[in-house]
Structure 1
Amino acid sequence: MRSAIYARVSTLNGQSPEMQLAELREYASRRGWEIFGEYVDSGISGSKESRPELNRLMSDAHRRHFDVVLCWKVDRFGRSLKHLVNALADLDSYGVAFVSLRDNLDLSTPSGRLMFQIIGAMAEFERSLIQERVRA
C-alpha cells in the first residue's frame, strides 16, 4: 500500500513538524506501507482551506498516487469542520483512505467516521476558543 504523510505546524517559533513526521514514518513502516511522499505546511493556520502542501496532496490523491493519507492528528489536517468533511469526502471519492495516528482514527470503518465527526467538531471548537483569546 502506498501512503502519503501530511504534517502541519501553525507557527514557526520553536515548533517543528519533525516529531509528527517521525511517528508517521514509523507507523507506515510497521504497517509495511511504502511512503509515496511527505507534505508539510509550516507556519500556516489549520483554519485556512488553501495550503500549498495540502493542495499538492489533494491533487496527488486525485491522481491516485497513493492509497492512504496518514496524519498525526485530525486538527493537523484542518480545524474547520466544513473543510475537514469536504476534504475527506474528496479523498473517499478518489478511493483514498485517511488515518489519524494520535486520534486512533481510520475512516474506512463506520466507527471511524463517527469519531471523525466528533473530533472534527472539537477541533473547530478549539479554534474558536483560540480566536477568542487572541481578540481578548
Structure 2
Amino acid sequence: MKNNTIKKAGLYIRTSTDNQQDSIHLQRQELRNYCHSKGWVVHEEYIDFGFSGKDTERPAFQNIMQDAEDGKFQILLVTKIDRFARSIIDCLVSVEKLESYCVSFAATSQPIDTSSAMGKLTLQIMASFAEFERSIINERMTAGRRAAEQRGVICHRPKKEIPSKKLEELIEKGLSANACGKYFGVTASTITNRLINYGYVYENGEWKKEEH
C-alpha cells in the first residue's frame, strides 16, 4: 500500500560571510528543487549569514535543533555536509541528536541520507576524510607560520579596536556586516563576531539586539 504521508523538510543554508547572496540563492534553489523532485513540503528555510561551520552557536542552527525536537519536520537538507558542520565530531553528534528526534539528515549534492544504513556509512566516511583534509591544511599552515616567525616575519596582527557605540549606530542605520567591515577596515566575519559579542542576532535579513 502506498504511503501518502507528505514529508516536511527543513532546509539549512549557511555562508561564512553575510555578503554571499549568490551562494545563498544557489543553495536555496538546489534544496527547493530536491524537495520538489521528492514531493516533499518545505517547512522552513534556516539561514545563517556570516557564521563559520565550526561555530555550533549559529542562530539558525539552534532554531533547527529546537524545531526538530518539537517535531516540526522529518528531514533536514543541506547541499553539502560542511554547510552543516566542519568537524566530524560536531557533525555526527548533531546528526545523532536529530535522529533521536526522528529527523533524518541528507545532503543533496552528496550520497548522504541517514534514513538508510548506506547513507549513514557514507556520512561517516566523508566526514572523516573532510576532517583529515582540514587537519593536513592546518598543519601545513602552522608549519609555514612557525617557519616565517623564525625568519623574523610578524604573522599576527593586533586585534583592531572597533567602537561598539559606532558599530551599533551603523547597524541601526541598516548597514550590513560587510559594509561595516569596509567602514572599519576589517572583514565581515570580524564584524559578525563583534556583533554577537555585543548581544546581536541575525534574523529575517537584519541584525537585532537580543532582549534580556
Partner residue, 1:41: 48
Task: Provide the TM-score with structure 2 as the length reference.
Answer: 0.60
Deviates more, 1:5-14 or 1:19-28: 5-14
Task: Provide the TM-score with structure 1 as the length reference.
Answer: 0.91
Residue 13 of structure 1: CA displacement?
5.1
Q: Which runs of 5+ in 2 are unaligned?
A: 1-6, 146-212
Secondary structure in 2 aligned to 1:115?
Answer: helix
Partner residue, 1:4: 10
Higher relative contact order (CA 8 A, sep 6+): 1
Partner AA of 2:13 in structure 1: A
Q: CA RMSD in A?
A: 1.7
Secondary structure in 2 aligned to 1:38?
Answer: strand
Q: Which runs of 5+ in 1 are unaligned?
A: none
Deviates more, 1:122-131 or 1:97-106: 122-131
Residue 131 of structure 1: CA displacement?
4.1
Secondary structure in 1 aligned to 2:47?
Answer: strand
Structure with more of its chain in strand, by fraction: 1
Partner residue, 1:64: 71
The higher radius of gyration belongs to 2
Partner residue, 2:101: 94
Identify which of 80, 85, 90 aligns with 2:87: 80
Q: Tell me the matched-pair count.
A: 136
Aligned CA distance change for structure 1 residues 134 and 43 (closer, same or farther; 3 Å): farther
Secondary structure in 2 aligned to 1:29?
Answer: helix
Residue 125 of structure 1: CA displacement?
2.8
Aligned CA distance change for structure 1 residues 7 and 134 (closer, same or farther; 3 Å): farther
Partner AA of 2:49 in structure 1: S
Deviates more, 1:15-24 or 1:123-132: 123-132
Identify which of 23, 29, 32 aligns with 1:16: 23
Partner residue, 2:39: 32
Deviation digits for residues 91-114 of structure 1 (CA, Å, limit 9, x no counterpart): 100000111111121111111111
Q: Quote the sequence identity (%).
A: 38
Partner residue, 1:121: 128
Deviates more, 1:13-22 or 1:94-103: 13-22
Aligned CA distance change for structure 1 residues 134 and 54 (closer, same or farther; 3 Å): farther
